[in-house]
Amino acid sequence: MGTFQIDFGDAAQPERIIGIDLGTTNSLAAFMDLTGPEIIAAPDGARIVPSVVALLEDGSLIAGNAAKARLAQHPLETLYSTKRFMDRAASPLKIGNRELTPPEAGARILLELKNNAEAFFGEPITKAVVTVPAYFNDAQRQATKDAGRIAGLDILRLVNEPTAAALAYGLDKRNSGTIAVYDFGGGTFDISILKIQDGIFEVLATNGDTHLGGDDIDSLLIQIALEDIATEWGAPISDDSAAVETLRQAVIKAKEQLSFALFTNIDLEYNGKRYQREITRDLLERLIAPLIERTLAPCRLCLADAKLTYENIDEVVLVGGSTRIPMVRKAVEALFRSKPHTELNPDEVVALGAAIQAGILSGEVKDTLLLDVTPLSLGLETMGGVVTKLIHRNSTIPASETEHFTTAVDGQTNVLIHVLQGERELVKDCRSLARFELTGIEPVPAGLARIEVKFLIDANGILNVSAKDTRTGKEQSVEVKPSYGLTDEQVEAMILESLTNAENDIRERQVREARVESDRILGALESAKQSDAWFELPEEDKAAIQTAHNELLLAYHGDDHRLIQAHMDKLDKASLKLAENMMNSAVRGALKGTKI
Ligand code: ADP
Ligand code: MG
């Protein structure tokens, strides 16, 4: 694969493509300037657009700082952190007397960024590259694209956030290397390990915690302040959501100052009352040490997933506003034994990388190839209710895998292709993404048909599955637009479940596969018994076959796949002569291959 380039023709000026970091807490847009990527500031100079949407009394929606400013006074008419729910089939969120779907909420934020960019350039902006977490599944990526459509932005490409961050640091210029991207934002923590080889970017593994971020630090401080206030003011304010919101802004301010100062004040004025409390960095560090510790376990898991240790990590990149905290930097440095990159603003670095990717698409930036990773394995249902995985979790995308399958029944003219997502071995434990039928297969004996199944994930993470009967050329395909979605927590849970159930799952799978294989042998034996060859067989051979047959049946209903296998082998041996007599290669030779 070469570089991505779009041919805009000769005369036409390439249309501007902006890069957008659509974050859980904050969003930003950037563009490719002559000297490199630059943040697009709002007309008032603000670089960050808080990911907050508010409904005004006149029924209009606003987003960004103005919306965030209304949070305290109008908590029920404001939405924040809606990215958590970003999904094709997510239920709408209540905002005042209205409802907004997460893509609609995301769209309002994108619109804010689009408007800022249009004011900045003085021209219409309709194209963007948008970043998403590496663990976003198909439904979440589609929903993000929907948000773009609603906002009037054509999202040309979705880029994984860690990949964008590494790009912003120019790490694609390395000949080779392994990079850890530690992203500690407002509400989520993500760790990703990327590999660079000859200018090619590859995500090796990702991990994280979808409910761990700066918000948790804020909550700890709010808790302390609430207790103080209840004593000082003689009455708690914890039930007054406007008061709590105002307090939240005050503690966030104090927290952010403590990244640069050794002490500061939490300062709250509310309804004519005032609360002030000095807070030191030392106290903050004691409070948040357990939260920081919680980011380290996913880092270790991620390293293990990539089959690496800290010694293999050449560079560490810090992303997310919460990595401004000195203690976070120290913890990361201690874990990876290497000084992390902090030269760029951690809350801007993803948007800057998105702008570079936008530049690659428009042809302004050359010679960079980006690869991203799929968060969950993809496969299809095969006989016995088991899943055969075609594309494995953490595979780089775009990815394509082709495998051949065959039919289970004589004369079978259609097969059901059941597409599944997840890490478990059995269909019942995976997530069903789509089903479709390939019809018009040439009716041939079981095991003789050749069905070619191809899984293709494009650079945007959208899956196309096609199945083809290689004899007739009949083909069917589906593009996966999942009818219901998965939350981030579910993705994590699915991965975790697969680990805790791995042993049982594999045992169950082996038993089921052994039974499918036994069915084949027993079926073949039944038909052989109708043949002349059977009647010509010496009685002792018949008896040996019968014994082996009965033993196999017994093992079949047990749960030891080795025993089933052993008795299949025994029956196979016992019926050697019978098979030879039949001179029918189809009985033995056919039926090889996995059946759908
Ligand atoms: P996200 O990617 O989750 O949308 P950001 O990367 O913008 O969010 O991170 C937002 C978080 O970073 C907030 O919790 C914010 O309080 C925190 N943050 C920003 N600046 C600082 C700072 N100087 N010190 C500590 N935390 C900070
Ligand atoms: Mg972020």
pTM: 0.67
Q: Taking a C-beta distance cutoff of 8 angstroms, is the pair 127, 154 a contact? A: yes
Task: Look at residue 508 and give its three-state secondary structure.
Answer: helix
Average pLDDT over residues 519-543: 84
Domains of the chain plus CATH, in order, are 2-169+345-362 (3.30.420.40), 214-285 (3.90.640.10), 374-500 (2.60.34.10), 503-591 (1.20.1270.10)
Give the strand pairing for 396-397 and 399-405. unpaired
Q: Which amino acid is it at 199? A: G
pLDDT value for 199: 65
Return the minimum-mean-pLDDT range out of 263-272, 423-432, 474-483.
Answer: 474-483
Residues found in the chain: 596
Q: Taking a C-beta distance cutoff of 8 angstroms, is the pair 86, 155 a contact? A: no
Atom of ligand 1 nearest to the CA of 187: 3
Atom of ligand 1 nearest to the CA of 48: 7
Q: What Cα–Cα distance (Å) separates residue 568 from each residue in 222, 521, 524, 572?
A: 67, 8, 12, 6
Q: How many whole angstroms separate alpha carbon 542 and alpha carbon 301?
A: 56
**Contact residues for 2 (Cβ-Cβ < 8 A; gap 6+):** 369
Q: Is 172 a catalytic residue?
A: no
Residue nearest to atom 18 of ligand 1 (CA): 321
Q: How many whole angstroms separate alpha carbon 394 and alpha carbon 192?
A: 11
Q: Is 551 a catalytic residue?
A: no
The rounded Å distance from CA 209 to ligand 1 centre is: 16
Q: Taking a C-beta distance cutoff of 8 angstroms, is the pair 353, 160 a contact? A: no
H helices within 87-137, ranges in order?
A: 102-121
DSSP per-residue letters across 319-364: ESGGGGSHHHHHHHHHHHTSPPB-SS-TTTHHHHHHHHHHHHHHTS
Is pLDDT larger for residue 516 or for residue 47? 47
The rounded Å distance from CA 204 to ligand 1 centre is: 26
Confidence of residue 581 (pLDDT cuts 50, 70, 90): confident
- Whether residue 242 is predicted with pLDDT greater than 90 in this model: the reply is no
CB atoms within 10 A of CB 562: 11
Which pLDDT tens digit goes with each residue over 21-30? 999 999 999 9
Closest to 247 measured CA to CA, from 271, 264, 231:
271
Residue nearest to atom 10 of ligand 1 (CA): 186
Average pLDDT over residues 535-558: 88
**Contact residues for 396 (Cβ-Cβ < 8 A; gap 6+):** 202, 203, 371, 372, 373
Which pLDDT tens digit goes with each residue over 424-453? 889 998 888 888 999 988 888 888 888 999
Task: Look at residue 62 and give its three-state secondary structure.
Answer: strand
Q: How many whole angstroms separate alpha carbon 532 and alpha carbon 291?
A: 76
